[in-house]
């Protein structure tokens, strides 16, 4: 069974704080990795893809460790608008033509004024 595990939180942090989320995945054949953001009762929206070399987008930095099957997301200088659930998402690669995504349960972040 292909799983994605995340710390459910909630993480309650003050504005301006740095917060880190971790995720592990079980399918060693997975090839694509993402962080999605989901606001309450809304659809998931892509925050960023995650590459082996690590990548940064403004205040957000994502890292991937294929050997450990571990993904991280770092948010610097947290804003109130960052409050959401952060979903670790991995492709459930099971052979050519596999297109499904496997979602973690998400980590809830609340940024407090």
Partner 1 sequence: EPEVTQTPSHQVTQMGQEVILRCVPISNHLYFYWYRQILGQKVEFLVSFYNNEISEKSEIFDDQFSVERPDGSNFTLKIRSTKLEDSAMYFCASSETGSDTEAFFGQGTRLTVV
> Which positions touch partner 1 (CB under 8 A)?
31-32, 34, 38, 41-46, 49, 87, 91-93, 97-106
Q: Which C-beta is closer to partner 1: that of 9 or that of 44? A: 44
* Shortest CB 98 distance to partner 1, Å: 6
Q: How far is the CB of 91 from partner 1 (least distance, A)?
A: 4
CB 35 within 8 A of CB 51: no
**C-alpha angle 6/70/63, rounded to 5°?**
105
Nearer to partner 1, 71 or 106 (CB): 106
Is 91 in contact with 30 (CB distance < 8 Å)? Answer: yes
Determine the Cα–Cα distance for residues 60 and 46; give it in Å rounded to an integer. Answer: 13
Closest alpha carbon to 90 in 24, 1, 38: 24
Minimum CB distance to partner 1 smaller for 82 or for 91? 91
Tell me how far, at minimum, the Cβ of 18 lies from partner 1, in Å: 26
């Amino acid at each position: 069974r292909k799983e994605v595990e995340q710390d459910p939180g909630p993480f309650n942090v003050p504005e301006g704080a740095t917060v880190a989320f971790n995720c592990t995945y079980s399918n060693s054949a997975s090839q694509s990795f993402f962080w999605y953001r989901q606001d309450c009762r809304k659809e998931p929206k892509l925050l960023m893809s995650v590459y082996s070399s690590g990548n940064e987008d403004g205040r957000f930095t994502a890292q991937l460790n294929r050997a450990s099957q571990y993904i991280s997301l770092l948010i610097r200088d947290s804003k109130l608008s960052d409050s959401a659930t952060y979903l670790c998402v991995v492709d459930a690669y099971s052979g050519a033509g596999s297109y499904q995504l496997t979602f973690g349960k998400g980590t809830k972040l609340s940024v407090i004024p």
